[in-house]
Amino acid sequence: MFYEVKVFDAKGELKKVLSPKKLSNRFWKEGEQKLIDFTDKEKGTANTDNQNYDNDGFKLENSL
């Protein structure tokens, strides 16, 4: 089951909306070849030890 996805730009303005039907069609057309495997085959858990999240391009704004 897919849910509607809203894509926003850096200013917070809505850029596009992806419908569940479009997401489903895209998934089944491309198949599992583009899926990312987040599990470590030996441990059975996600391996995020070497990940650098400092430069991911997203920043939180102070909303208080």
- Let me know if residue 47 belongs to a domain: no
Range of the domain at 12: 5-30
User: How many angstroms separate the first and last alpha carbons of the chain?
Assistant: 35
- Let me know if residue 60 belongs to a domain: no
- Let me know if residue 54 belongs to a domain: no
Query: How far is Cα 60 from Cα 10, in angstroms, rounded to an integer?
Result: 11
**What is the predicted pLDDT for the residue at 21?**
93
Q: How many domains does the chain have?
A: 1
Tell me if the pTM is above 0.85: no
The DSSP secondary-structure symbol of 38 reads: -
- Let me know if residue 20 belongs to a domain: yes
Cα angle value 35/30/43 (rounded, 5°): 15
pLDDT tens by residue, 5-47? 999 999 999 999 999 999 888 888 876 666 666 676 665 555 5
From 8, 24, 2, 11, select the one nearest 61 (Cα to Cα): 11
